[in-house]
Structure 1
């Protein structure tokens, strides 16, 4: 019998165990890296989708809304409207809107006419009535506000009319003096009609305010029988 001293027999079990552990750790690290990449891509895709949805909603919804009753200036003698006024404001949660004539437009449609853009810009200052704002617009022609450059009498009164149907915006409630309609402000879209384009009873009056961002605001009313100088269009 051959005797072997204790401790002289070699074993590779420990080395194999260490190698297996190293391989397993490597697999775990690679798997963790791949999982991080997948999760990161998922988060990025979700964020992009969220941004696209919010952007689409902003483009599809209008930031503006009607802020009260639409009124008109009526000529009871001939039964026609000289002017109309559409009060507007920023909708709840809506963004500010630039109403400068370079970036905004007003489309006007009635039973007999269709204009792509009749907008000439905003009138500086704050006015509490359509009559006072229109009178200021007439006098403002000398300073570059060419709404009624051919009119020397307030079109609201029905004595004189512009040579072309035109629209302008004035502020009935203003916090900052500029062309931006902001939260807390109220603007009025005023339309003065050419003499032979004045709407009469049962005519349709439709105005569409087109702005740089967001959907356009469309307002449509039917003209009632004109019995007063100030006509309630609802």
Structure 2
């Protein structure tokens, strides 16, 4: 009796702790687009810890980003070096330049999804960067703001009406799903709500 009651309590307590470590989209989702070709080069999802939640480790060895466009699917597009922690970035443009310099996107000028030609890397990649940061580690803490950016591969860039799905799987807690349908691409930065 007591033993099974104690185990049930521990299981429920652990489940509550894991659920409270969840992230959520915390602002406008934006795509950097190639207006002339009507293709998205990258999509940025702003993320933060839910109210009352616990810190989560976004280290690439502990976190996984699955990605699916309906025509291409990856089990993990987040790699070491693509979680940018040395500083905060005030814009997607600055963060993508840093990611490319760090060789996360391949290093060639054409791999940067913003700018000219702005076509992206050979295969899709995930980049995480902070806009509000308490310290320079890979742990997203309450009060910090980060962005998960899906940088589309050159031949994997979605067009209007295409649906993109990503899932951030952490070492603990529930997975976080990101999903958007691409709108018409009339501006270099398209607000996706």
For normalisation by structure 2, the TM-score amounts to 0.90
Offset at 1:55?
1.5
Equivalence map 1:10-25=2 (5 Å): none
For residue 158 of structure 1, report the CA deviation from its aligned partner: 5.4
Match of 2:99 in 1: 137
- The whole-number CA distance in structure 2 between the counterparts of 1:157 and 1:109 is 25
Match of 1:55 in 2: 14
Query: Does residue 198 in structure 1 map to residue 157 in structure 2?
Result: yes
- Alpha-carbon displacement from aligned partner over 1:88-142 (angstroms, at most 9, x marks no partner): 001112111110011111001112111110012311210011111000111122x
How far the C-alpha of 1:56 sits from its partner, in A, is 2.7
Kindly report the root-mean-square deviation, in angstroms, between the aligned alpha carbons of the 2 structures.
1.7
Q: Which has the higher helix share?
A: 1
Please tell me whether the aligned partners of residues 82 and 156 of structure 1 are also in contact (alpha carbons under 8 angstroms): yes
Contiguous gaps of at least 5 residues in structure 2? none
Larger Cα-atom Rg: 1
Query: Matched residues in 2 for 1:226 and 1:210: separation?
Result: 29
Structure-2 separation of matches of 1:133 and 1:150: 13
- How far apart are the structure 2 equivalents of 1:127 and 1:56? 34
* 1:162 lines up with 2:121 in the alignment: yes
- Per the normalisation by structure 1, the TM-score is 0.75
Quote how far apart the aligned CAs of 1:186 are: 0.6
8 A Cα contact 1:207 1:219, kept in partner: yes
What pairs with 1:91-102 in structure 2 (closer than 5 Å)? 91-102=50-61
Bigger proportion of residues as strand? 2
**Structure 1 unaligned runs (5+)?**
1-40, 142-146
User: For the Cα contact (< 8 Å) 2:78–2:125, is it kept in 1?
Assistant: yes
Q: Summarize the alignment of residues 209-228 of structure 1 with structure 2, pairs less than 5 Å apart.
A: 209-228=168-187
Q: Which residue of 2 aligns with 1:81?
A: 40
The worse-fitting range, judged by mean Cα deviation, of 90-99 and 45-54 is: 45-54
State the Cα distance separating 1:194 from its structure 2 match. 1.2
